[in-house]
Amino acid sequence: MKKIIFWLNCARAFSLPMTVMSWLVVFLYAVKSGGDVLNGLLALVGVSFAHLAGNLTDDYIDYGILSKDEKMMMSAVKTKCCFLRDGSVTLKQMRNVIALFCGIALLTGVILFFRSGEGVIWLTAAGGILTLTYARFSLVGLSEIVIGLLFGPLMFEGIYYVMMKTFSFEVLILSIAVVMFTVAVLYVHTLLDYDSDEVSHKNTLCRRIVDKDRALAPLVIFYAAGYIAAGYFAFLIRNYAVLFVFLTVPFAVNVFRLIKKYNNDKNFGPVIRWWHKPLDRWDAVKEEGTEAFYFVLFQSRNLLLWFCLILCPAILF
């Protein structure tokens, strides 16, 4: 059990609730339409292990780049590839676990193929290729596009397909609403890594904008697009309870302000209120001295969670 928990930490399992909540949104929408519940649950297994494999692959490739130059390694934030950097795991061990996670995701895809049809082949192939090549795309500033496809149309339409054996325009719009907040979490992460990525010459989207304050503009666009898509989805299905997701706007404003604060002081002491939680492994984070980094990152993730928590019952309304 300790080994399982260890590898879940290595694979940044704190990001997994984003996948689970996104899955739950489209799962409930399909269930309401009479979808196959078992297929939806199997899809969650496959998507979750693909997500964890992608996180490990990202660290594996990043470490290969950082290890070529001691200056780049020293400039990277403490959280980047930390398990490889401190010798807790070897590259061979990480490759083996990546293969294991990919194997579980692939096996799930095979089962769903026999239960739902050939559409699963194309969905699984596209998702697998994008997951394993994500880190390469991130080097040239295209990671937001890849994540947007993986956790948006591919995942939502894929889950809806295995449950309903068809695709849906409404689900496509729903996927855009939710995935904009997922993309925002990734973008926040790259904003927090801005200085270390600059030293390692990693051309993320925010690095291409050059100025850290100006790089906040895409974050506003991501959030605005998510809320606009949610409003359009409510109009399409004539369910205006969905509009309650706009109650999360203050959380989005808070994330924006926290990043500006982090840009001025990377070691600021967070003042924690009940609405800032959950804060995973917070005692360990404080010992590492990375409170400011994770506090901002967790707030962007929690915004997505709150958005989905409001959206789920609204869909069933």
The pTM of this model reads: 0.85
The CATH number for 127's domain is 1.10.600
Q: Is 67 helix (H, G, I), strand (E, B) or coil?
A: coil
Residue 96: how many CB atoms within 10 A of its CB?
A: 12
Q: What pLDDT, on a 0 to 100 scale, did the predictor assign at position 200?
A: 61
Angle (nearest 5°) at CA 228 between 227 and 232: 115
Give the pLDDT of the chain (317 residues) as one tens digit per residue.
778 888 877 778 877 888 899 999 999 999 999 999 999 999 999 999 988 888 888 777 777 666 666 655 555 555 566 677 777 788 888 889 889 998 998 899 899 999 988 888 888 888 778 876 776 776 677 778 888 898 899 999 999 999 999 999 999 999 999 999 999 998 998 888 877 766 666 677 777 777 777 888 899 999 999 999 999 999 999 999 999 999 999 999 999 999 999 988 888 888 888 888 888 888 888 887 888 898 999 999 999 999 999 999 999 88
Give the burial class of 154: count Cβ atoms within 10 A of its Cβ; 0-12 exposed, 13-18 middle, 19 or more buried: buried
What domain range includes position 6?
2-316
Task: Give me the number of domains the chain comprises.
Answer: 1
Cα–Cα distance for residue pair 52/65, rounded to 1 Å: 20
Two structure tokens written together for 130: 């994008």
Q: What pLDDT, on a 0 to 100 scale, did the predictor assign at position 87?
A: 72
Residues 6+ apart with CB under 8 A from 98: 53, 56, 57, 60
Cα–Cα distance for residue pair 64/269, rounded to 1 Å: 32
Q: What pLDDT, on a 0 to 100 scale, did the predictor assign at position 79?
A: 58
Cα–Cα distance for residue pair 191/208, rounded to 1 Å: 11
Two structure tokens written together for 288: 């590492």
